[in-house]
């Protein structure tokens, strides 16, 4: 895929800079997107209207073959060996980069905000003008997905739903035991106490079989579920909420999907049952607000309104609260699991092609946690929800 | 695990700096190591003899509970909301950080080389002294493993060998077919053409069952194997070298292992057979040189000597060669798959507790590739090789 970087041209014009410079490995999505290349060690990408790569000897052949870059250089093209003898490895590498910029008539570069400080200061010492931009110009470009990118995410969501079904199936098949070593009320599946770790493993195996991987999954029960970032551990229990949040990445396309469901085996307490209904209402309110021209802040406010009207705290009503709705409403999804746009107090205008999660939730260690999360693309006249998974709190 | 950061104290004294500042998520191993905390979004760690964390509201409760930090702060502790109203989100965040440093009487900080440029320049504009260090002081500390870390890596290597055995088993069980759609000489396993992707998936499933994950595996055959970074794809073929390079990470401890074997199903060509013997010899030469007090460069030179004496090019004899021995001899392994020390032209003095790979290899698209890789820890009187996997080129 050749991304449309015309907005980057306009940005560089506006800044009066000669080029955009990225130094990172391909795990960095800005690097992957701009360079169109994939390498495990850091390499340099200069965009000056065309893409120019500076890579190690090890990557040189593959970069020429696999990337669509207008030019590919390697350190040896700039007398790296002689420079090492004269200046040592570190300064030799810096001097190669500055010569590479000179060769492309680039005196001033803008970089992503997370460009490495040591390299930037070294290039400055050698005469280059290096300025980090914090607007996230490439993030903004990446936030608007092409049709091909939307398909990648839709495919990932299909795999995600198969994994969620496997997780729900395990909970459904489990029996509630009263007399195990792990205490009373724990779930038991085929004679074994059913733990977060077991459900997580089954989710991962299901995804792996279809070419998807994940670094982490959340299968969090009870008090664990009350902490939105707790991955969960130990036995799953009846009558307590179990949050399952899965965000797989395609090994091939590198695009993510994201979805959350909350389950209770047995009887939810009244608060969790109320929270579930409210969270469905909050999700609907968010989707009602989701359209091009609306801001991410407006979508987030719609969720806060529902929760606050029902008497629950949010970070909008109390920035120090540790219970209630204590995160943002959603985020963009693409090559990164968290990317633009943001559905939060900082959320800006939404555009067709933005792919976002909508994930309201309520948390309190006393009761547990509830979160429901769908993933959708903003369209010309509203949105299309990729998520086609039922919402049923109680699993029989 | 509480790491021994006394070398960092000495470094800060030497530099006349008040503290060491890290801003990254826990995927960054320096952050994970220094902070003793694990969060998916970037957070700030200040080390001034003690560890102080500045985290988002979302992470606050967990950081207090899970980390051993001397103090945990959140943005709300520094009137973040009021600052946002006055300065906007970005500058409000910067001002919170500078106040946080002031509160700890820290005027000057040193950072890792990859500290984000935009944040560093912003803190400088607000009066803080921020300097990146390129020595990699935390990398140096991390390179020397504690007994506990060595055990984590040894465990990972055991899982790795089970996965390698599964890969070799698939090749062993395969038959050589002459009349398939994929052409003649392809390997067929249980009626299906055996591909790199199938072997990779079986490796991953085997690892996942034991709590290990990997982002990537190399199962590369023929011309693919001639490129050390090619992950491999498509049918595996008889009589061609198949490089299997597996580097799993424990989901629990986050430590890696690393191993490579090269297999041929059928009859290797004469060059590959010669390369295999030479590479075993080169590996032995490297291990003969591996001891405390030796340098990584000396170990690397031992490998280059073997290959060059046999008439094959290396990057030492020709920095532009694209065939022969075209990478370094090895690297440290720990929380990162590639970390210090380096067994390369840049390799410095080795110390007990260094965990390194030894991975000589030869490559040429005309013949394929051969690589053999073990992982070992440097001990007081030499080394201990964790690898207990046979070396047999021809798989029957």
pLDDT of residue A102: 97
The pLDDT value recorded for residue B135 is: 92
The CATH H-level superfamily of B6-142 is Creatinase/prolidase N-terminal domain (3.40.350.10)
Query: What per-residue confidence (pLDDT) applies to A178?
Result: 77
pLDDT at B179 over 70: no
Contact residues, B window 124-143, toward A, CB-based 8 Å cutoff: 130, 132-134
The Cα–Cα gap between B187 and B382 comes to 42
> Does B102 score more than 60 pLDDT?
yes
Q: Which helix (H) or strand (E) holds B304?
A: helix B296-309
As a dihedral over the C-alpha atoms of residue A175, residue A177, residue A180, residue A184, rounded to 10 degrees, the angle is: 130
A117 vs B contacts (CB less than 8 Å): 111, 113-117, 120, 130, 132
What confidence score (pLDDT) does residue B229 get? 78
Residue B178 pLDDT: 77
- This model of the complex carries an ipTM of 0.83
Point out the residue among A57, A201, A215 whose CB comes nearest to the CB of B208.
Answer: A201
Cβ of B228 within 8 Å of Cβ of A58? The answer is: yes
**Interchain CB contact of A223 with B (< 8 Å):** no
- Which pLDDT score, from 0 to 100, does residue A183 have? 61
Query: What is the reported pLDDT for B41?
Result: 87
Structure confidence at residue A34 (pLDDT) = 96
Cβ <8 Å between A208 and B205: yes
B297-343 pLDDT tens trace:
999 999 999 999 999 999 999 988 999 999 999 999 999 999 999 99
Interface of B with A in 203-222 (CB under 8 A): 204-205, 208-209, 213, 215-216
In this structure, chain B runs to a length of 396
B326 touches chain A (CB under 8 A): yes
pLDDT-wise least confident of A93-102, B176-185, B261-270, B377-386: B176-185
Instruction: Reply yes or no on whether the pLDDT at B248 is more than 60.
Output: yes
Using the predicted structure, report yes or no on whether residue B274 has a pLDDT greater than 90: yes
What are B91's two structure tokens? 């500058």
pLDDT of residue B228: 86
CA distance A92 to A108: 20
Within the 31-50 window of chain B, which residues sit less than 8 Å (CB to CB) from chain A? 39-41
Shortest alpha-carbon distance between residue B235 and chain A (Å): 17
| Nearest residue to B193 via CA among B238, B236, B241 | B236
B 143-202 near A (Cβ less than 8 A): 201
Cα(A32)–Cα(B120) distance, integer angstroms: 24
Q: Which two tokens stand for residue B172?
A: 């062993």
Residues of B within 8 A of A133 (CB-CB) are: 118
Whether residue B182 has pLDDT greater than 60: no
Asked if B228's CB is within 8 angstroms of A57's CB, the reply is no
Query: B346 and chain A: CB distance < 8 Å anywhere?
Result: yes
Topology of domain B144-395, per CATH? Creatine Amidinohydrolase (3.90.230)
- What is the predicted pLDDT for the residue at A182? 57
3-state secondary structure of A368: strand
pLDDT in tens, B149-159: 999 999 999 99
pLDDT at A167: 98
Give the per-residue pLDDT at A177: 87
B330 within 8 A of B289, measured Cβ to Cβ? no
Strand order in the sheet with B355-358: B339-343, B330-332, B355-358, B374-379, B382-385
Contact assignment for B213 to A216 by CB distance below 8 Å? no
The total number of residues shown for chain A amounts to 396
Give domain limits for chain A: 6-142, 144-395
What is the Cα–Cα distance from B363 to A223, expressed in whole angstroms?
A: 54
What percent of chain B clears pLDDT 90, i.e. is strictly above it? Answer: 87
**Residue B181's pLDDT is what?**
61
Per-residue pLDDT of chain A (396 residues; tens, 9 = 90+): 578 899 999 999 999 999 999 999 999 999 999 999 998 889 999 999 999 999 998 889 889 999 989 999 999 999 999 999 999 989 999 999 999 999 999 999 999 999 999 999 999 999 999 999 999 999 999 999 999 999 999 999 999 999 999 999 999 999 998 765 656 699 999 999 999 999 999 999 899 889 898 878 999 999 899 988 788 999 999 999 999 999 999 988 999 999 999 999 999 999 999 999 999 999 999 999 999 999 999 999 999 999 999 999 999 999 889 999 999 999 999 999 999 999 999 999 999 999 999 999 999 999 999 999 999 999 999 999 999 999 999 998
């Amino acid at each position: 895929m050749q991304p449309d970087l015309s907005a980057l041209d306009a940005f560089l014009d506006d800044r009066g800079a000669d080029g955009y410079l990225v130094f990172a490995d391909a795990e960095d999505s800005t690097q992957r997107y701009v360079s169109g290349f994939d390498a495990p060690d850091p390499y340099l990408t200069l965009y000056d209207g065309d893409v120019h790569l500076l890579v190690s000897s090890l990557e040189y052949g593959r970069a020429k073959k696999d990337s669509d870059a207008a030019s590919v250089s390697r350190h040896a093209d700039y007398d790296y060996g002689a420079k090492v003898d004269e200046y040592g490895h570190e300064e030799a590498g810096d001097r190669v980069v500055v010569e590479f910029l000179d060769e492309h008539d680039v005196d001033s570069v803008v970089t992503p905000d997370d460009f490495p400080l040591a390299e930037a200061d070294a290039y400055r010492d050698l005469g280059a003008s290096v300025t980090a931009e914090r607007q996230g110009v490439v993030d903004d470009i990446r936030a608007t997905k092409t049709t091909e990118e939307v398909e990648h995410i839709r495919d990932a969501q299909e795999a995600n739903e198969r994994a969620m079904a496997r997780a729900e199936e395990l909970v459904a098949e489990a029996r509630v035991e009263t007399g195990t070593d792990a205490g009373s009320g724990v779930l038991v599946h085929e004679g074994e106490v059913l733990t977060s770790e077991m459900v997580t493993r089954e989710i991962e195996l299901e995804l792996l079989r279809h070419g998807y991987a994940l670094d982490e999954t959340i299968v969090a029960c009870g008090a664990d579920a009350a902490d939105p970032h707790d991955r969960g551990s130990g036995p799953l229990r009846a009558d307590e909420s179990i949050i399952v949040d899965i965000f797989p990445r395609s090994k091939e396309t590198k695009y993510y999907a994201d979805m959350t469901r909350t389950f209770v085996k047995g009887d939810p307490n009244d608060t969790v049952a109320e929270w579930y209904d409210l969270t469905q209402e909050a999700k609907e309110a968010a989707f009602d607000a989701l359209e091009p021209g609306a801001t991410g802040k407006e979508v987030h406010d719609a969720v806060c309104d529902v929760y606050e009207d029902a008497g629950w705290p949010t970070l909008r009503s109390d920035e120090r609260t540790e219970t209630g709705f204590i995160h943002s409403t959603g985020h963009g999804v693409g090559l990164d699991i968290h990317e633009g746009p943001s559905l939060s107090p900082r959320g800006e205008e939404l555009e067709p092609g933005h792919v976002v999660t909508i994930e309201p939730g309520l948390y309190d260690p006393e009761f547990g946690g509830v979160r429901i999360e769908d993933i959708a693309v903003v369209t010309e006249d509203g949105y299309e929800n990729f998520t086609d998974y039922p919402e049923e709190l109680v699993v029989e």
